[in-house]
Every structure is written in structure tokens, then in C-alpha cells.
């Protein structure tokens, strides 16, 4: 019987599971099978109105995860053998470099970084523990979103705070690394001279960030210690004046936990529009709050791309990915138009069609649209454990 690897990618509102042939992990082939479970509003693990935060006490949340994992196990048992390897996407690797075994010691270390990714880390680790119980004979592997950014130089990883504060391990880590790795792999297949090009990757979705890539390495990115930093997102504020936080804390009307909740769950597009952080819904509306939310998003993203280009000393290619980057041609067009001064000119017809290259013939910068395949990267990362 064919031996399989199972990848589990737990997002804010869904769990994607994919099955791979254990003998072909290193080839980054498409999965043999894949399925996504989306949580319902009544599920205590679901998010409320665009919020990423886990709802309900930990016991309820763990029960919800176990129930979802039961469905995954039932799906597998119908057609596939028990997995030999289970690979988890973990958002924050902190001081760990992946891929690595998810044993009790590793799980404990990763749990210590939960405050640096409060909307993601605890749930992902709870899922990993549940999977270890479900498939005790399987090798459990973690792949980290932070790994891609291990190449950040001191120039862009160092926070401008005192050394005494930095000694607590505070620095810029960067995220979306597994998605960036997938997009970069695809880009290299399209551009023979990719390693010589100055490339900005724009992963735009519920969570959004940018990455400057030179010689195949991440040298700058918009997210920092936590995934809240950088661009305004669906419900996350992105970069904001620290004085705003100091002011709110000094007023005494809000705790540190509540402040984190506000900037993680009720800010960004949701905070500006007052009703939704879903870009698709915002684009379907014609009211001033929706227009302002979209304008701020495209403006800040264009600014961010320009800052990544400054790090690179120019820009040869801009690559869009993510739920918004891959599926919202109007957003791509608006961002590109804001950067026409830098040589970007999008082809409107190509941009409205399923094309990888969408730049106009007059553009001096390549403009690309690629779909990240995180499950393939997760599977590939486990090949060393065979």
C-alpha cells in the first residue's frame, strides 16, 4: 500500500489537509488529494465578523480542533492509509529553525512564542498535540513561516530600541515564509535569471506582507516581531504610532490584552470600514468608508513596495500572491498605478485574465500573479526526515 504524508495548514477560518506520496516529497508534486474544512459561526474556534481571535475557553477550542481532526481522520480512512508523516505549518518559529520534529520539548519552546503570534500559535500547537494523539506512529514535523526570513541582515532585522530591551529576544522575524518560498520557486521556473533580479513579493490576503528578495534570499519584509506589523490587513492594524498604544494604556480604559485584541481583530480594513475586513465585500460596495478602506490599503501597499525597492536598490519584478493579490485585479491595478513613476505599467486586459505575467509592453518592471502552494512546500520540507 502507498505510504503517505499528511500536511495540515490551520488558518484563521479553515483547516486545509493534503495527502502526498511519501516517495515523491522532494519533487514538490501536486497532492494526491486535498480538502479544506471551514469553521461555522457556531463553532467556538471560529472567528467573529472578521476576527482572528480564538473564541471560547481553551477546553472548548481544543474540543473544536479535535472534532475537526476527527473529520480529517475519517476522510483519510475512507481512501488512504494511516499517514507516516504529519507536517504542520506553524506561524512563529522564534529561535527555532525548521523543519524540525514536533516532540514535547519543541512544543514547549514553541508555546513560549505564543504571545508573539496570539491569533495563530496556540491553536496550531493544540492541533499538533491532537494529531500526535490521533496518529502516534507518525513522525510529526513543524515548518515555520519565520524560516524564510532567517537571512534578514542586521540592517532590517534590528528593532530601533535599546539593547536592554532587545536582549529579551525582540527583533523583526517576518512571516508568510512558506507562501513566499512557494512563490519564489515558481518565479524561478518562469525567469531563468531570477537570482540576478531585484524582486518584491506581495502576499496580500486576510494577512498581508511584502518581502524584498535578492539572490534568492529575503533581505527585508514588512512584518516584524509579530504578524500584526506592516501593512493594514483585514482586521489587523499593521504599523502604527507606538504613541497611540501608550496613550490608550495611560487612559486606563483598556488592558494590554484588550489592546492586542483591538489591533489584531477590530482594526485594519474592518476598523476603517466599520463593517467588514473582507476585501471582496468592500469592492462590491460604493460607500465612502469602503472606498477609504480600499484606498488606504492600496496606498500603504504601494508605499511598502517602494520601501522594499529602496532596500533592493531598485525593482525588476513585482509578484502578487495571496487571496487578494491573486484574485482582485482591481487592487493589483490600483497598486501598480500608484507606482507608475517607478516604471510599473499593468496591462489591463492581461490583468483581468488568468495570466502569470500582467505587465504592459511599456513596463520596465515585470508584474506577475502567482498562487502560493503552501501544502507542497510543507510536504517538501519533510523529505529530509524519510
Active site residue 145: yes
Rg (CA), the chain: 21
Residue 292, all three cell numbers: 477609504
| Adjacent-strand bridge partners of 86 | 6, 140
Rounded Cα distance, 306 and 310, in Å: 6
**Catalytic residue from among 145, 147, 316, 375:** 145
- Catalogue the active-site residues: 145
Amino acid at each position: 500500500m502507498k505510504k503517505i504524508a499528511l500536511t495540515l495548514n490551520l488558518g484563521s477560518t479553515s483547516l486545509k489537509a493534503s495527502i502526498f506520496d511519501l516517495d515523491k516529497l522532494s519533487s514538490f508534486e501536486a497532492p494526491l488529494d486535498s480538502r479544506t474544512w471551514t469553521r461555522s459561526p457556531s463553532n467556538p474556534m471560529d472567528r467573529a465578523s472578521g476576527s482572528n481571535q480564538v473564541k471560547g475557553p481553551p477546553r472548548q477550542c481544543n474540543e473544536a480542533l479535535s472534532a475537526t481532526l476527527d473529520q480529517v481522520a475519517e476522510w483519510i480512512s475512507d481512501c488512504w492509509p494511516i499517514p507516516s508523516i504529519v507536517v504542520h505549518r506553524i506561524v512563529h518559529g522564534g529561535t527555532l529553525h525548521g523543519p524540525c520534529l514536533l516532540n514535547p520539548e519543541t512544543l514547549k519552546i514553541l508555546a513560549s512564542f505564543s504571545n508573539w503570534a496570539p491569533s495563530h500559535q496556540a491553536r496550531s500547537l493544540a492541533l499538533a498535540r491532537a494529531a500526535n494523539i490521533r496518529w502516534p506512529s507518525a513522525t510529526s514535523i513543524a515548518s515555520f513561516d519565520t524560516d524564510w526570513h532567517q537571512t534578514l541582515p542586521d540592517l532590517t532585522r534590528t528593532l530601533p530600541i535599546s539593547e536592554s530591551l532587545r536582549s529579551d529576544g525582540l527583533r523583526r522575524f517576518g512571516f508568510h515564509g512558506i507562501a513566499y518560498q512557494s512563490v519564489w520557486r515558481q518565479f524561478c521556473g518562469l525567469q531563468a535569471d531570477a537570482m540576478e533580479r531585484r524582486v518584491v513579493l506581495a502576499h496580500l490576503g486576510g494577512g498581508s506582507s511584502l518581502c524584498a528578495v535578492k539572490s534568492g534570499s529575503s533581505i527585508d519584509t514588512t512584518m516584524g516581531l509579530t504578524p500584526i506589523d506592516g501593512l493594514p490587513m483585514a482586521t489587523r492594524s499593521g504599523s502604527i504610532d507606538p504613541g497611540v498604544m501608550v496613550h490608550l494604556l495611560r487612559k486606563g480604559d483598556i488592558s494590554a490584552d484588550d489592546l492586542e485584541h483591538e489591533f489584531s481583530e477590530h482594526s485594519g480594513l474592518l476598523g476603517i470600514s466599520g463593517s467588514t475586513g473582507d476585501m471582496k465585500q468592500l469592492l462590491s460596495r460604493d460607500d465612502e468608508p469602503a472606498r477609504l478602506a480600499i484606498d488606504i490599503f492600496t496606498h500603504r501597499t504601494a508605499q511598502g513596495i517602494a520601501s522594499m525597492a529602496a532596500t533592493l536598490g531598485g525593482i525588476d519584478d513585482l509578484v502578487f500572491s495571496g487571496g487578494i493579490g491573486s484574485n482582485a485585479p482591481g487592487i493589483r491595478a490600483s497598486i501598480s498605478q500608484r507606482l507608475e513613476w517607478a516604471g510599473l505599467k499593468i496591462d489591463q486586459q492581461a490583468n483581468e485574465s488568468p495570466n502569470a505575467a500582467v505587465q504592459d509592453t511599456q513596463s520596465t518592471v515585470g508584474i506577475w500573479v502567482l498562487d502560493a502552494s503552501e501544502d507542497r512546500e510543507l510536504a517538501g520540507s519533510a523529505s529530509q526526515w524519510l
